[in-house]
Amino acid sequence: MVFVAGHFGEWIQGLVGGSLALVTLDCRSRGVRATWEEAAQPALDDPAGLIGNTRAKALFSALGVAPRGKITLTPDLPPGGGAGMSTAALVALARAAGAQEAAIAAACLEVEGAVDPLMLARPDGTLWAPRSAKALAELPPPPRADILGGFWREPQRTDPGDHDFPPVDDLVADWAKGPDLPQAARLASLSAARTTAMRGPGNDPTEALAGDIGALGWARAHTGSARALIFAPGTIPQGAEGRMRAAGYTHVLRFSTGGRP
């Protein structure tokens, strides 16, 4: 069995020097599992529709590996939510097929056109270019935080040709100094608010909910429905999950993220 962790939106995403870049919000506890078993003919069991047979074949071709046996893909979260399930599925499939690690990012890009940094050992310690699958710079990892997350409204799959995002050069410059948790939450909130102001949805309740529940700030999937409330470790208040569900969020979860190695 191969497990590849997803993410839960981004701390920061937007145009840096005119090109799209991001700092992912790591979610080690949720991802995609690829299980392999002997079979006479290669087969892919993908009941959630993460990638499908056509993209699986394209991935194998890009990697130069031959599919073998039956591989089953099982996601923890719904596709199209901005939690990296499709990229995680491609990485898991590549690893299950025995691909070389150095080839995985470029192969995923060839198949999808937009790639999260989930193949990296420390995906949240990098300024990542999702439309070219390249690490642009090493960054200080985010401080330790507890996240209360959920999905608001319908899934929204990423369009690889979409570059209509606000500039975030200033936010990345501040992040590169190594923010503490209140500063990181502030930068994430600014990035999320800029994207919401530019791209919508206009009635997103996440910022107000973060204030009502007492979060330090909020983050979002900039091209998906994942929303995250940011707390200091151990401070998510009792009943917060219920309040999030009552506000219309689905798949509500909590997890820890960040922290210096």
Give pLDDT, residue 260: 65
From 80, 78, 85, 70, select the one nearest 32 (Cα to Cα).
85
Query: Of 77, 112, 147, which residue constitutes the final position of a domain?
Result: 112
What CATH number does residue 150 fall under?
3.30.70.890
Do residues 16 and 104 share a domain? yes
Residue 131 falls within a domain, yes or no?
A: no
The reply to whether 99 and 148 lie within a common domain is: no
Q: Are residues 16 and 63 in the same domain?
A: yes
Q: Are residues 54 and 107 in the same domain?
A: yes
Q: What CA dihedral angle connects 13, 170, 176 and 161, to 10 degrees?
A: 30
Residue 130 lies in a domain: no
pLDDT in tens, 199-228: 999 899 999 999 999 999 999 999 999 999
In the chain, the number of structural domains is 2
Does residue 240 form part of some domain?
Answer: yes
CB distance 227 to 249 below 8 Å? yes
Residues 60 and 21 in one domain: yes
**Measured distance CA(182)–CA(68) in Å, rounded:** 48
> Within a domain: residue 84?
yes
CATH code at position 37: 3.30.230.10
Whole-prediction pTM = 0.96
Answer yes or no: do 19 and 107 share one domain. yes
Are the CB atoms for 188 and 12 separated by under 8 Å?
yes
Whether 150 and 246 map to the same domain: the answer is: yes
**Residue 118 is assigned to a structural domain of this protein:** no
Mean pLDDT in consecutive groups of 10 residues from the start of the chain, 261 residues? 97 97 97 92 93 95 90 95 96 94 97 96 97 97 97 83 93 98 98 96 95 98 95 98 97 94 57
Same domain, yes or no: 69 and 21: yes
The answer to whether position 124 is within a domain reads: no
Distances (CA, A) of 128 to 11, 139, 161, 240: 12, 10, 17, 32
Residues 181 and 78 in one domain: no
| Residues 145 and 253 placed together within one structural domain of the fold | yes
Same domain, 143 and 235: yes
88 lies in the same domain as 198: no
129 lies in some domain: no
- 122 falls within a domain: no
For 50, residues 6+ apart whose C-beta sits below 8 A from its C-beta are 32, 73, 75, 79, 85, 86, 89
User: Which range marks the domain in which residue 19 is found?
Assistant: 2-112
The pLDDT assigned to 157 comes to 76
Instruction: Give the residue from 112, 147, 167 where a domain finishes.
Output: 112
The Cα–Cα gap between 217 and 85 comes to: 24
pLDDT of the residue at 238 = 96
